[in-house]
Each structure stands twice: as C-alpha cells, then as structure tokens.
Structure 1
Amino acid sequence: MSGGKWTEGRVSGEKAAGKDWAEGQDVFLREYYVGVDLGGTKMLAALISGDGSIIAKEELPTLAQQGEAAVLDRLGSLIEGLLAAVPGGRSVLRGIGVATAGTLDTANGVVTFAANLGWRDVAVAAVLSDRFACAVRLENDATAAAVGEWLAGAGEGAPDCIFVTISTGIGGGIISGGRVIAGTNHNAGELGHISIDGNGPLCPCGNVGCLELYASGTAIGRRGAEQVRRGGAGALARLAGGDPNRVDARLVAAAAAEGDAEASGILREAGRSLGIGLVSILHLLNPQVVILGGGASHIGEPLLGPMREIIEERCLPSIRKPVRFVTSALGSAAGAVGAALLMSQSR
C-alpha cells in the first residue's frame, strides 16, 4: 500500500459499492482508515480506502475552549459523517490515526500536554477506540505530515526528505534512509527549537534564540505589530488601521506586496533566519528534498528567496547541490493523510 499512488476524489455510489471495478479491486473497498489532524483552531479528517484513495475529507473548528470532552465528541461526529460516504460505515473502518501537536504518550494514545488545546493527560485513543471499536494510533502532527508528503505528496519517491512547517511555530518531520525518524517518544523533529542565537531571547520551551522566535508566522506578525506600535506610516500601518493587534504574518506579506519597505525587511530577516536554521539541518541530515509547508510558506519569494540566499552562502556545496526545495503538495491535509498511512502500516 505504501508504494501506491494516492489519489483524491469522492467516490461515487456505484464505485463505493464495488460495481464496475476489476474483481481484484473489490477487496480494497471493504477496508478504510481515517486520518485526523487535530489542531488548536481546526480539526481535519480524511477517509482513505485500502487502495490509497482519499474518499472524503472534512474539517470543523476545534473550539478547544469548550473542553476536551466536547472536542472529542465533535471529532467523533466528524468521523461518523465521513463514514456515511461509504457502504458499511463503521463495519469497514480498520483504524484511526490522529496527528496532533504537544507532548504525546504514543504507546498509550495519550496527549500528555498540548498548549494549543489546553489539554493535560487526555486519553484520545481510548475515547475514539471505544466509540468506533477499532485501533487508534496517536502521532506527532509534523511527523505525520512528513509521512503524508513522503508517501503521497511532494516527497514521493525520496528516501531522504525533511518536512518543515512554518506557521504559528516551526515544526518538522524527518525521513532518513526510507525510515521515519520519530525519536524515543515520537517527539523528534522539533526543528523550531534549534537555537540560531546563543544570546537570543528566552523561548517558552526553555531554550534561547530558537528558530521559531525569528522565522515563524507568529514572529513575523510580532515584528510587524512592533512596527505599527512605533508609529510606522507605511502600507502595514494603513492595512492594520493603526492597530498593532490586527497585524499578523498575512498582513505583513500584503503590505510587502504593496511595496512597504519595512514589511519587506521583516520578511527578509525572517527568511534569512529560516535559512540559518536550515543550514544546520541540512548539514546534520543531508536530505534529497526539503518540503516547506504551513501557512507562512505561502508568502513565497519575499520569505523563501532570502532563505535560499543564506543556504547558498553557508551550506557545504556537496550537501547543498543535491537538495530540492519544494512546497507541500497536500497542503492542510498532509497530517491527516500521514496519520492514516501510519495507522494502515502499523496493522
């Protein structure tokens, strides 16, 4: 299954019933997996068939403020809605993979701490397993996204690739020698907490000068807000209506697109910081492909151009030259697809 080409598209009623399919394909339609990407803002779930097709995907707001029981109930309802797309519903569900951020006890399926959800010691796997009577696997969200892109997206066919997500924070997943590098407790790939400045500010993780303090979407928005607060008079201040609380990375990018020199400078510095962090990662892991995902990656050249400049200047040529830098092919579905893949392969 892992070598198959994954496709997307809602299956019609006739196809889902097995009609007009080659006889040998019919067996795949009796096995399905659900992958979930559970975030602080939204939850996305994808239903995937045994032949590797994404049958359906849907998302809902997480509404974490309502508490863990309400969130898990909404997630259960989301999964049930997806299962309604195929004959047999729950009876053909073979497993659920859940990708989420935070500190995880993957062996027991427990989110031990997730700041974005406000959770401590939440037994996600047990709750979903009881509701759907199937196996449930919990995985780090960035690792799951890396697997999704590796097997079904921009990194397909590359035994050595790194997925870097640039959004609220910076995270990542590592594939080396055709194997997922998960770490002792499945928390490997905390690329955002590589220190790029030994004298930098204290990060909430306890380290100083962490990459995500300089190059994440949050960092870009924070620097933009500081600029407006200081009384900047360019496009950024105008787009924000003079209110620094309205500034985020998207607004900084919009101001830069209008020619705002200060906004462009913020993106350039963030891109250079990202490049500095990636040089260390490239030297350590020597990948074939670096996949860039997350909302801030859509800023494009104003951020990624300076990143490439630093890599060109500072990375060893023998390591730099073979690397391809690509953007995510699966987008927001990468984590859900990867979680489903990991679940299917663990059976």
Structure 2
Amino acid sequence: MVKNLLRGSFKLMKSMNRSLILNIIRERGSISRAEIAKLTKLTPPTVSSLVKELLQAEIIIETNLGESSGGRKPTLLTLNSEMFHVIGMDIGSQNIKTILTNINGAILKHSVVPLPAQVTNDTLLSAITDSVRSILEDTEIDEEKVVGIGVGMHGIVDADQGISVFAPNLNLHNIPIKEVLEEQFGMIVKVENDGRAMGLGELWFGNGAGIDSFVCINVGRGIGAGIIMNGRLYHGSHYISGEIGHMVIDIDGPRCTCGNYGCLQTFASGPAIVDRTKKEIRLGQFSLLSELTGGDLESVTGELIYQAAMDGDTLCRGILQRAGRYLGVGLTNLIHTVNPRRIIIGGGVSNAGDLIMDSIVETVSQRALTRPAQETEIILSKFGEDATAMGAVALILAELFTSRNTETASAL
C-alpha cells in the first residue's frame, strides 16, 4: 500500500512546476507560498494548487508560522523528512560503506563491511545485497518508505545501464549492480562512478552548492573526479570522464592497476603513499612507524602515517607533501583542461588535511598558466570519507526531484 502511494508521489513530483517548487523548498528548508510564487514567477493561484497536491500526497508539510510583514503571519512549507528515505553505498576495493538518510540528506544509519581478499562478481553482488539488507533490518524506519538505492562504484561505470564495466582495483568486469538490486529490493537503483557521485553530492548538499562549475576529486585507493559543468554532471561519451587517476604523470613510472605506467594514482593514492613509506624505511630511513608498528611494516596504514607525521616524523611528513605535489601537478593539468571555479577534495587521503593540501595549493600556484588559474579555490569536501556515499544518495534525490523536462543529457 505504501509502495503504491510512493509510486504515485514520484509521478506527482516529476512535473516541471512541481519539481521547481520542491527544489526551492529543499534549498530553503522552509518557505512561504508567497515567497515560492515570487521566486518561481508562477502565479499565486498556481502555487496554491500545486502546494495543495503536494500536501495531500504528504511530500511536504506545513510548519511554524513565518515572520509577518504587516498582515497575517504566513504558514511555512518544508519537506516531509519522514516520507522518504534513501540508501547510499560507496563500493570500494576494501569495503562497502552504506548509509541511510532522510530526504534532506541527514544520515540516520551508517555501516562499513569489509570485502573478502578474493572477490568475484557474484561474491561482490552478494556482499552488496547483504549490506543493504543489514541496514534495512537495523532500523526502526518502515522499509516501505525507503525509496531508492544509490551506488557509487570505483572504475568505469555505465550509468545508464547501472553496470560496473571495469573495477580495476578489484579486477572485475561487467557487474550488473542495478539489475540485481532492483530484483532483490524492488526500488529505484542508480549506479554511478564514485568520483562523479561525489560531485553530485557536493552539488546537492556540500561545498559545491550554488557553484555552476567545479570538480570533486576522490583520493583514496584510487583517484577519480566528478566534473560539474554549467550546474550539470558531465559523463563524457564513453563513461570515462573524470578518470584523472589514470592521467600519466611519468611514462617511466610504476605499473598501475589499469595496466599503464606512471598514472597519477601510482604516486598519490593511499596505497602509493603506504608503499613509498615502507620502501623508504626498508632502505634505512628513520621513522616513528617502526615503533608504532612494533617493527611490522606490513601493518603500516595511511592513518599511522598521518599520526606519525603529526608527531613530527620527517619521513612521513615528506611523503605526504610529495603526494600533495603530484596531486598538484594532476590538478594543474585539470585546471588547464576544464578551468573550474572550485576544486573539492575528499576521500581517505584528504584526512591528512593541511599536510597534503598545502603542497597541492603551492604546486598549482607555481604551475598554472595565469594568475586567476593559479588562485583556483581548492578546498576539502564537507563530507570527508562519506563524500561518495552522500553522492550516491544524491543520485536518488536527483531522480525524485528532477522533472523529465529538465533532466540533463548524459554527455555534453
């Protein structure tokens, strides 16, 4: 019964004028009918009629009275956060992060499940469905009010078909994520590359709100980007837009998981930072990590490297700064190609904060062609390691809030 109600609500939301009203309510948090009419340039009777339909469908609710401008205090409208909930997933090469949010993007539940050492298409799909089932069972929210599952997946993703075409860090191909999840749970499923999902999340909820041209960089075990151009997510013609981790920095560099040599992620990703640190210690460089790990270099992690760097470890500080310089080179190339107003950096490596950001900013300021390009704003993601999962949530909300008449093409 609730599912049928929700399906009817989706159709109601998809008309252009209703979508316009809902987006304004979402952005403002609470707003009066008169203010909606002013901002949308729709007539007050039209706004009242559409609002009445949305109230009857329980998509929006009336809330506290607003400030009066001399007459009767206006009743404010806000989204009904109890009506819709969304699951967002970040599928990495080591674990699956799953969050449950309300329609406003507030995280209600959060789980991280490690992947087995050896993964096949079937075992990965099983782990994904188990993660969804687990978070549904571990909540008091009516499952019928969970309207969709968004998935951010590393590597090459066919967003139209919902297929992971190639996940290089897992060495898997053609994983039918959308098909399997829709069959298992009977709800909307959207699948996107993790960097592009992160970009959409920042556009909807984060440090990209109100910015029409920016790039999000997801720096973890790999490096990907989500490119927003003219307020729209850019995919490219063959689903590889944003794969900046495979931008070649040194043609004689280390072999990458993609098969090429000298890719950016072989110098600046999480595993690259760990490998470089262990190599230097084996060559005789002093580091506090020897004490922190009890001499077991195989237990060195990015978190321990950051801890040692914060404790004054010269080697670890130098390696993080070196990774920042390589990222700065990659971002300079990106600035010369896309010329965004802002660059937002998230993912696990971003937790190093100023230890890596200072080197990034300094490198861009030294290498970019013009003074404005050198001063391109580079900031950390609002969501840190949850950036991709929040982007996955935004995939579903974009589907719900965007009318068919205003949806964008997958490639510009």
Q: Give the TM-score band, short-chain normalised.
A: 0.7 to 0.9
Paired residues of 2:206 and 2:383 also in contact (CA < 8 A)? yes
Aligned match of 1:193 in 246, 254, 263?
Answer: 246
Partner in structure 2 of residue 63 of structure 1 = 115
5 Å matches for 1:1-347? 1=22, 4-5=26-27, 22=62, 25=78, 29-50=82-103, 52-54=104-106, 56-64=108-116, 65=118, 67-81=123-137, 84-87=139-142, 89-90=143-144, 92-117=145-170, 119-320=172-373, 323-347=376-400
3-state SS, counterpart of residue 320 of structure 2: helix
Overall identity of the aligned pairs, in %: 32
AA partner of residue 257 (structure 2): P
Paired residues of 2:347 and 2:387 also in contact (CA < 8 A)? no
How many residue pairs match? The answer is: 332
Change in 2 beyond 3 A, CA 1:21/1:250: same
Q: Cα distance, 1:158 vs. partner?
A: 0.8
AA partner of residue 95 (structure 2): K
1:111-137 deviation digits (Å, cap 9, x = unpaired): 233244564433221221122222211
Q: Cα distance, 1:288 vs. partner?
A: 1.4
Q: Cα distance, 1:48 vs. partner?
A: 3.8
1:207-247 deviation digits (Å, cap 9, x = unpaired): 33211111122111111101221233332333333332222
Paired residues of 1:276 and 1:310 also in contact (CA < 8 A)? yes
Quick one: distance in 2 between partners of 1:166 and 1:286?
20
Unaligned runs of 5+ in 2: 1-21, 30-57, 64-76, 401-412
1:241-291 deviation digits (Å, cap 9, x = unpaired): 333222233333333223332222222222211111111111111111111
Q: Cα distance, 1:99 vs. partner?
A: 1.2
1:72-101 deviation digits (Å, cap 9, x = unpaired): 33123134236x4434x22x3333221111
Quick one: distance in 2 between partners of 1:343 and 1:168?
25
Q: Cα distance, 1:148 vs. partner?
A: 0.5
Paired residues of 1:36 and 1:98 also in contact (CA < 8 A)? yes
| Higher CA-based Rg | 2
Quick one: distance in 2 between partners of 1:216 and 1:55?
27
Q: Cα distance, 1:69 vs. partner?
A: 4.8
Paired residues of 1:224 and 1:236 also in contact (CA < 8 A)? no
Paired residues of 1:169 and 1:217 also in contact (CA < 8 A)? yes
Paired residues of 1:62 and 1:71 also in contact (CA < 8 A)? no
Paired residues of 2:125 and 2:177 also in contact (CA < 8 A)? no
AA partner of residue 63 (structure 1): L
Unaligned runs of 5+ in 1: 8-17
3-state SS, counterpart of residue 254 of structure 2: coil
TM-score by length of 1: 0.85
AA partner of residue 228 (structure 2): I
Paired residues of 2:217 and 2:343 also in contact (CA < 8 A)? yes
**Coordinate RMSD, CA, aligned:** 2.7
Quick one: distance in 1 between partners of 2:87 and 2:311?
42
Partner in structure 1 of residue 34 of structure 2 = none
Q: Cα distance, 1:2 vs. partner?
A: 5.2
Quick one: distance in 2 between partners of 1:132 and 1:111?
19
Change in 2 beyond 3 A, CA 1:228/1:207: same
